[in-house]
Chain A
């Protein structure tokens, strides 16, 4: 485009051949440019979800978790390994999914809600790029804000290598898979936060505990299996092998992200 008026553009694009030809074959963002797009969107969403209010609230929850760890250590226990596994298990069931829900549902959900999504959607960029950028941003914030405090709390209770490894592996799988679920929930539901809480508290907390079949449909069960397989401490409804515990939530997360991208491509954008 030539500059319509001074100042002249430093690198003015050429005038378009408007009305001539079709769109097919025109510029799309591909290859290296796609990397730049992914990085740009990732940085944007990262900054968008890191609001002071969210960080303070999640930081406070993590601080409470650490205080719980300190209290656990202060209490006399003859089995610190079991206490440590219980601490990780408790946080995987509450703190991590809730924190990831707060971040993940806002990643694209807020943009869809306020209408600014149009500035990402109406670009020659496949929708999976938006979804992956949102997932990466959610994981990036969740790891330091909630996972690291949980690992630190685990170390406070019992600084055992195997226990810490189980906390790191289980926590990473939980963050990755919950992030996929809740980023997609932000696309799918107008009010993803209450829907996510219902999922965490009602489905994962109660319904999925009802039997072996229902257990297969809860992320928490797979994380428990990771903890059990790595530490040898038996946990309720931890029915899967280590490989299954790691791979299934990640594979499901990938499928859910693919669904999210497809859903976003077909969404009405305000």
Chain B
């Protein structure tokens, strides 16, 4: 795994992104991204606002890059109608055509792609996502999870070589999440290029795939998921401890837990004093802190991570 070096697809690339930047006014959404993706499932991981959706829209040609080039199947997805026939998207937004039921919506996608037997293909696609093709209710009456599945169904009808899925598991119950994760995996195994975005680390782990980590519009890391997971776990963690004996416990922690640094916090406004620890071995810290506090006869009032949210993980990856 190497963050700064643009990753290349192991086999012939289907999607090639070369020095791509995109900005909206003064806001840089994507900054100088380069990578190539081949067949199989690739997860695009990043916090909300990282530029994932903008990147996915550029891959589909829905918006042009301000700088750099995007090639899909060797052509520009923005201008080449032939590419559009082989690309499908599950967009993030919920809006669909209010006037249609699920079958009508998926059938329309088949018709617009020039698929023979659009009725039959639409029925098949809805069955693949475990929806009833004979349900004549308008999609406006559907739950969020059902709408997500309809959106996935419409993305299947054109036999796509490239599937772009923007947070496709949002709103699904656990069983349906498993079902769709399996489906995406099989589509990848068939040789399709399946690009799935998510801001949920555990979700990406289940795709068992290659990962592109995007943060603040930049490629923060790329490669095998497990390597990135290890990198995330190895980063320095910052943990706050509140206790009735902050100085004594801080001293004991420094020697016993392998802390990189300890900063005392005085008591204030009715809150007890404490300290903040920087450590590269958070699991060891969590295992040891209770024992160490007993040794110095200190009461543990609070132990809370200060940077365990995903945003801070991504920030760390960007700053490496």
A5 to B128 Cα, complex, angstroms: 7
Q: Flag whether A17 is at the interface (Cβ < 8 A).
A: yes
B105: chain A residues within 8 A (beta carbon): 119
Contact A21 B97 (CB under 8 A): no
Q: Flag whether B27 is at the interface (Cβ < 8 A).
A: no
B160: chain A residues within 8 A (beta carbon): 1, 16
Contact A44 B100 (CB under 8 A): yes
A3 to B157 Cα, complex, angstroms: 11
Among A68-76, A121-129, A181-189, which stretch is in contact with chain B? A121-129
Contact B161 A28 (CB under 8 A): no
Q: Which residue of A lies closest to B109 (CB)?
A: A119
A48: chain B residues within 8 A (beta carbon): 97-99
Contact B81 A126 (CB under 8 A): yes
Contact A124 B62 (CB under 8 A): no
Contact B115 A4 (CB under 8 A): no
Q: Mark B145-181, 1 if CB is under 8 A from A, else 0.
A: 0000000001010011110000000000000000000
A7: chain B residues within 8 A (beta carbon): 124, 127-128
Chain B nearest CB: distance from A110 CB in Å? 9
Contact B154 A119 (CB under 8 A): yes
10 cross-chain pairs, A with B, having the tightest CB-CB distances, nearest first: A22-B74, A9-B124, A47-B99, A124-B85, A114-B95, A13-B159, A23-B83, A115-B93, A123-B112, A18-B161
Q: Mark A113-143, 1 if CB is under 8 A from B, else 0.
A: 0111011111111100000000000000000
B305: chain A residues within 8 A (beta carbon): none
Chain A nearest CB: distance from B155 CB in Å? 10
Binding site for B on A (CB under 8 A): 1-5, 7-30, 33, 36-37, 40-41, 44, 47-48, 114-116, 118-126, 268-270
B80: chain A residues within 8 A (beta carbon): 23-24
Contact A19 B85 (CB under 8 A): no
A180 to B100 Cα, complex, angstroms: 25
> Knowing A11-B116, A11-B121, A40-B112 touch, does A4 contact B186 (C-beta < 8 A)?
yes
A25: chain B residues within 8 A (beta carbon): 82
A13 to B193 Cα, complex, angstroms: 17
Contact B124 A19 (CB under 8 A): no
Binding site for A on B (CB under 8 A): 11-14, 38-39, 57, 60-63, 72-75, 80-89, 91, 93, 95-100, 105, 108-109, 111-117, 120-121, 123-124, 127-128, 154, 156, 159-162, 182-183, 186-187, 190-193
A20 to B190 Cα, complex, angstroms: 13
Other 8 A-B pairs with CB < 8 A, given A16-B190, A28-B114, A116-B97: A1-B190, A16-B191, A18-B162, A19-B38, A29-B112, A33-B114, A37-B112, A119-B154
> Knowing A1-B159, A114-B93 touch, does A11 contact B108 (C-beta < 8 A)?
no
Q: Which residue of B lies closest to A13 (CB)?
A: B159
Q: Which residue of B lies closest to A50 (CB)?
A: B99
B115: chain A residues within 8 A (beta carbon): 13
A167 to B60 Cα, complex, angstroms: 47
B109: chain A residues within 8 A (beta carbon): 119, 123
Contact A122 B89 (CB under 8 A): yes
Query: Which of A5, A15, A41, A124 touches B190 (beta carbons < 8 Å)?
Result: A15
> Knowing A17-B161, A268-B62 touch, does A11 contact B117 (C-beta < 8 A)?
yes
A126 to B79 Cα, complex, angstroms: 10
A269 to B63 Cα, complex, angstroms: 6
Contact B85 A22 (CB under 8 A): no
Chain B nearest CB: distance from A55 CB in Å? 13
Q: Which residue of A lies closest to B194 (CB)?
A: A18
Contact A1 B38 (CB under 8 A): no
Contact B108 A40 (CB under 8 A): yes
> Knowing A4-B187, A115-B93 touch, does A26 contact B74 (C-beta < 8 A)?
no
A4: chain B residues within 8 A (beta carbon): 128, 182-183, 186-187, 190
A14 to B127 Cα, complex, angstroms: 18
A269: chain B residues within 8 A (beta carbon): 57, 62-63
A121 to B63 Cα, complex, angstroms: 11
Chain B nearest CB: distance from A76 CB in Å? 48
Chain A nearest CB: distance from B237 CB in Å? 38
A48 to B75 Cα, complex, angstroms: 34
Chain A nearest CB: distance from B180 CB in Å? 10
B97: chain A residues within 8 A (beta carbon): 44, 48, 116, 119
Sampled A-B contacts (24; CB under 8 Å): A5-B183, A7-B128, A9-B120, A10-B120, A13-B159, A16-B190, A22-B75, A23-B74, A23-B75, A25-B82, A26-B86, A27-B85, A28-B81, A29-B112, A29-B113, A29-B114, A48-B98, A116-B93, A118-B62, A119-B112, A122-B62, A125-B81, A268-B57, A268-B62
A86 to B274 Cα, complex, angstroms: 86
Query: Which of B57, B96, B121, B190 touches A119 (beta carbons < 8 Å)?
Result: B96
> Knowing A44-B100, A268-B63 touch, does A122 contact B84 (C-beta < 8 A)?
yes
